[in-house]
Amino acid sequence: MWQEQGNLTNAFGDLTFGSSWQDAPDCSENSLVSQLQTTLDLQQQLEIFSMSVGRALILNGLTLKTALGEFKASGSKAGTYQHIASLTLEQQVLAELRYESEYPFTPLIQQQLLLLESEWLFSLRNALVVGRLQQMALKDPLTTLGNRRFFDDSFAKAVQLAKRHQSPFALLLLDLDNFKQVNDIEGHSIGDDVLLKVADCMRETLRATDSLFRFGGDEFAVLLTDSDAEHAERVAERLLNAIKSESFLVKLGVGCSIGLARLSPEQQPRDLFHLADEALYQAKSSGKGKVRHSSYRSNLAEKLTQPMRVAS
C-alpha cells in the first residue's frame, strides 16, 4: 500500500479567530469555502469536503483525525491506496486527513487535494475552537470527567439506544467513603488530590472515558454497555478494589461504595437512576466499601412507597 505520512504534533496550539491567509481562497457563492462556512459541525464539514474531493477522484473513504476525536465520511471503507495529509494553518497542525481509494494518488491528484485542503483550513479551525469550548462546558474542571449536565444528556440517550437495540445497559453510582472527614481535616487541596486519584482509578479500570462522570462533591457515575453491562457486578467490584488498593487513598482511609442497577425494558431513565441510588444507599448503610445491586422487580414496591434518597 502506498501512502504519504503527515505528522500530527499539536492539534490546537493557541487557536484564535481572525488570522490572515496570504492567498485568500475563493469565497464566492456555492464555492467550497462558502459551503464549509455554513456549519461549525466537524462531521458536516467533513461530508461537504468529501463531496468536493469526490469530483477530483473516486474515494473509498475519508477520515479526519483531530484532538476532539476521529470522524469518518459516510460510507467510508478501506482502499488499496492511502494518502495521509496534515492540515496546517500558520504553523499549527489542526488535524490529519486519511484518504482511501482504489486508484493511485498521483502528484497531480495530490496537488488538487492540497488546494481543496487549503480552502477548508479557516472553517476547520473555527469548528475546532467551538468544539473545544463545547467540550469544556461538559467536563468537570478538576477531574475532566463528564459533568452532571453531560451525564443527564448521555444517560437519557444511552437508555433510549439500549431499548431500541435491546442491548444490555447498567448504571453505577459511586460515593466516596470518609471523604468529608479527609476534606475537613486535611484541607481542600488534599481533597482535590483524592478526587483526581479516584478519577484516575476509574479511567484505568474502565474502558469508556466518555461514560465516566463526576456530579460534584464526591459523587461519580458510570454508564456500562454491551459486555461491560452483562458483567456489571464484576466491573463494579474491579473498580471498588482499584480504589480501595490505591496507596494514596489507603493512607487517607478513603474508599467508596457503589450502587448498581440494570435496565429493564419497562424502565424509564428516572426509574433506573432511582434503583441505582437505592442500591448506593444500601451499600453505604450496610457498612460502606461494598457493591450493592438493585433488582427492578424486587424493589418496585419499595420505589413506589418511599421518597427518593440521595446517599451522603
Q: What is the set of active-site residues?
A: 218
Nearest residue to 158 via CA among 171, 144, 142, 148: 171
Question: Which residues are CB-contacts of 226 (< 8 A; sequence separation ≥ 6)?
Answer: 167, 168
Q: d(Cα 32, Cα 120) in Å, to the nearest integer?
A: 8
The identity of residue 134, as a single letter, is Q
- Residues 61 and 78 sit within 8 Å (Cβ to Cβ): yes
Q: Which residues of 133-165 are buried (b: 16+ CB within 10 A; e: fewer)?
A: eeeeebbbeebbbbbeebbeebbeebbeebbee
CB 44 within 8 A of CB 37: no
Query: Per the structure block, which three cell numbers stand in for 161?
Result: 439506544
Cell (9 digits) for 165: 437495540
